[in-house]
Amino acid sequence: MDFKEFKTNQYERKNRFNDKIKQEAFQLVSMSIATTIRDAIQITKEAKRRCLSGESLGKVFHGNSNKYKKNTFESRIVNKVQKRKNDKKYQQSQQM
């Protein structure tokens, strides 16, 4: 097996995996169930941190201190909720 053949096999395996993830993601979307934050986080973990197009959202290079940071999708969801709560508290304090 030469290098070229090895690479093509690698890409075939990757594409097959991406197709599987896409199908699972489209099934979840087609169910159209209102998901809670925890469910959304769990879905992203199960989908191996890939978006609907199959692109990897996982490891991003950030300097030398933490070479491969995890995807911040979970923290973004939680931060949105915290920001919303803080905005409500701020508005209530302004009204008083």
Q: What is the mean pLDDT of the chain?
A: 66
pLDDT surpassing 60 at residue 67: no
Q: What is the pLDDT of residue 40?
A: 66
Q: How far apart are CA 62 and CA 54, in angstroms?
A: 22
Per-residue 3-state assignment (H helix, E strand, C coil) for 3-55: HHHHHHHHHHHHHHHHHHHHHHHHHHHHHCCCCCHHHHHHHHHHCCCECCCCC
pLDDT surpassing 60 at residue 69: no
pTM over 0.75: no
